Amino acid sequence: GQNIDQPTEMTATEGAIVQINCTYQTSGFNGLFWYQQHAGEAPTFLSYNVLDGLEEKGRFSSFLSRSKGYSYLLLKELQMKDSASYLCALILSGNTPLVFGKGTRLSVIA
């Protein structure tokens, strides 16, 4: 398998910056996704990285390093509504399933 690893839980303070890491063991893949999922709701798309480097989208940024086998999601100016699970997923090719990590549950505290 792809062995996608993420920390199980993280806690951060409102207004701060938090980095959620994702490591994987696979060499060939099309791209890496980050999804946000609030409890009991469907995952929603945050970002998709194909090339190495940083992709910025508002308060959220995602980074990929293929050579190092890792990605991270950076959340700035944390808000209480950012309390959710964050899922890292790989897609190997167009006709293969997305493979998800188990997710990181982020708690934002005042």
Instruction: Please report whether residue 31 would count as binding another protein according to CB under 8 A.
Output: yes
Strands 44-49 and 53-57: unpaired
Which segment (12-20, 43-51, 55-63, 75-83) binds another protein by CB under 8 A?
43-51
3-state secondary structure 10-78: EEEECCCCEEEEEECCCCCCCEEEEEEECCCCCCEEEEEECCCEEEEECCEEEEEECCCCEEEEEECCC
Stretch that binds another protein, among 17-25, 29-37, 53-61, 74-82 (CB under 8 A): 29-37
Binding residue for another protein, selected from 40, 57, 58, 110, defined by CB under 8 A: 40
Quick one: tokens of 6?
A: 């993420």
| By the rule CB under 8 A, 45 interacts with another protein | yes
Q: Is 70 in the site for another protein (CB under 8 A)?
A: no
User: Which residues pair with residue 36 across a beta bridge?
Assistant: 44, 86
Residue from 48, 55, 60, 69 in contact with another protein (CB under 8 A): 48
Of 61 and 78, which has the nearer Cβ to another protein? 61
Query: In the Cβ-directed half-sphere of 56, how many Cα atoms lie within 13 Å?
Result: 3
Chain positions 89 to 108 lying near another protein, rule: CB under 8 A, are 89, 91, 94-95, 97-98, 100-103
